[in-house]
Amino acid sequence: MSSDDRTTKREGRTVSRRQLLGGAAATVAIPYIIPSGVLAMQGRPGANDRIVTANIGVGGMGQHHVYPDAAALCDVDANHLANAARRVTKGTPFLTKDYRYILDRKDIDAVFIGTPDHWHAMMTVHACQAGKHVYSEKPTARTIAEARAMVNAARRYNRVVQIGAQGRSNPEARLACQYVRNGMLGKVSRVEIWHPNNFTTTDWGPPTAPPSHLDWDLWLGPAHWMDYHPIRCHFNFRWFMDFGGGFIRDRGNHALSIVSWLMNADTYKGVVTCEATGTPHLTGCFDVPVTMEARWEFQNPDWTLTWSQPGKPNPRMPGEWGATYYGDKDSLVVIGGDGGCATEAKAHNFRVPSGGVEIYLHPTQTGDPTERHRQNFLDCIRTGARPVMDVDIGRQVITYCNLANISYRLGRKVKFDMAKERFIGDEGANQLLSEPYRAPWKL
């Protein structure tokens, strides 16, 4: 048997390499799909060329990234796949439950990753290796080492990698950013985030057979094996350290992204100390704490960030979650920080003075921050520019979030060197920088 006749079993059927390549060739022959190699100058489409996109993970937020002309869709849940396919109105998308089929296709320029969090880093790295540009949903990664691997892959393969923390494309957040960065609060020494508790359950999630439409083994992928129960899967994966890591890593990625932006801390390379405490979840199978109080201390300039869960909304501008920035001259409230965001009238009324700090907002026709964020990604593929939530900013922000979870798990304050990406004087903490993957998955 020649190597071309070797068979691989995917999609519940046996496919030979020859058949697979034949099928791919037929797909490429569809006129509306233009291989990126034809368009590209150094792998980049021209200004008016269509960027061929595909989506990996199309339940939850992932479904909103499906464009009407998406070339391919991937999800381990056949129901998600069928629902998302209905959003594609131009052409017939290639459907698969295994993302590696999408990465194999040479005609696809960019992928939108909307899977559960434990897949983000692995899929991003593999997509970069396959030459795809990547828009990956927040949170950036599950561990500090994973986030570093994502940045390294993006740079090594010269790919655009945007993290889906779309607060960076939100006009309201930009107004707040301009207000703070132009010194209207004076020296900011304290930022306080408030947020509701993590979800709770009274279900212990006894092992159950996965439904026929779901490939549970592929859903878990690189994560440690866990028996299936619906409470561990869609949406609720957020309440497990292995998958989501709680709100501090989920919405926290949004909230801390805005803080890092306003405080100009995206490139901070000093030392951060972090101490997080919380109440363990004890009424059901979730394992992230119900409540969390976290405190980060930054140096030079010295300022403190706190995350209170539950926190007390600022009565000046109450909202489900948000932050107050306290300077020596004034304070400012910013509500939310994802697609939804609002700030106070004084920031709206502020005009950047000549020579002041003007914050970039990607110009688009749409008023929707999420679409603006996607457009920024696609335009950066054309221009080769770094996107507004470049993966290295995503790494920086998620590091702050991960420090809180690590401190909570260790039960002690930790000190982290942002330049060396190592804990200082705590080898036990350094052992939590990464987590091993379940075989055969590897970065």
Residues that bind other proteins (CB under 8 A): 204, 224-225, 227, 279-280, 282-283, 285, 287, 409-412, 425-428, 431-432, 434-440, 442
Tokens 């290639």 correspond to 94
Is 45 or 222 the residue whose CB approaches other proteins more closely? 222
Minimum gap (Å) between residue 331 Cβ and other proteins: 33
HEC string for the chain: CCHHHCEEEECCEEEEHHHHHHHHHHHHCCCCCCCHHHHCECCECCCCCCCCEEEECCCHHHHHHCCCCCCEEECCEHHHHHHHHCCCCCCCCEEECCHHHHHHCCCCCEEEECCCHHHHHHHHHHHHHCCCEEEEECCCCCCHHHHHHHHHHHHHCCCCEEEECHHHHCHHHHHHHHHHHCCCCCCEEEEEEECCCCCCCCCCCCCCCCCCCECHHHHHCCCCCCCCCHHHCCCHHHHCCCCCCCCCCCHHHHHHHHHHHHCCCCCCCCEEEEEEEEECCCCCCCCCCCEEEEEEEECCCCEEEEEEECCCCCCCCCCCCEEEEEECCCEEEEEECCCCEEECHHHHHCCCCCCCCCCCCCCCCCCCHHHHHHHHHHHHHHHCCCCCCEHHHHHHHHHHHHHHHHHHHHCCCEEEECCCCEECCCHHHHCCCCCCCCCCCCC
Is 21 or 424 the residue whose CB approaches other proteins more closely? 424
Q: Is the bond leading into 139 cis (omega within 30 degrees of zero)?
A: yes
Which residues are registered as beta bridge partners of 332? 325
Minimum gap (Å) between residue 284 Cβ and other proteins: 8
Pairwise CA distance, residues 158 & 384, whole Å = 9
Is 68 or 425 the residue whose CB approaches other proteins more closely? 425
Query: CB-based burial of residue 189 (10 Å sphere; 0-12 exposed, 13-18 middle, 19+ buried)?
Result: middle
Is 87 or 412 the residue whose CB approaches other proteins more closely? 412
> Are the C-beta atoms of 254 and 195 separated by less than 8 Å?
no
Is 82 or 145 the residue whose CB approaches other proteins more closely? 145
Minimum gap (Å) between residue 249 Cβ and other proteins: 17
Is 41 or 282 the residue whose CB approaches other proteins more closely? 282
Minimum gap (Å) between residue 257 Cβ and other proteins: 28
Minimum gap (Å) between residue 130 Cβ and other proteins: 19
Is 156 or 316 the residue whose CB approaches other proteins more closely? 156
Minimum gap (Å) between residue 285 Cβ and other proteins: 7
Minimum gap (Å) between residue 405 Cβ and other proteins: 12
Minimum gap (Å) between residue 282 Cβ and other proteins: 5
Minimum gap (Å) between residue 56 Cβ and other proteins: 23
Is 291 or 375 the residue whose CB approaches other proteins more closely? 291
Minimum gap (Å) between residue 74 Cβ and other proteins: 24
Is 155 or 224 the residue whose CB approaches other proteins more closely? 224
Is 189 or 273 the residue whose CB approaches other proteins more closely? 273
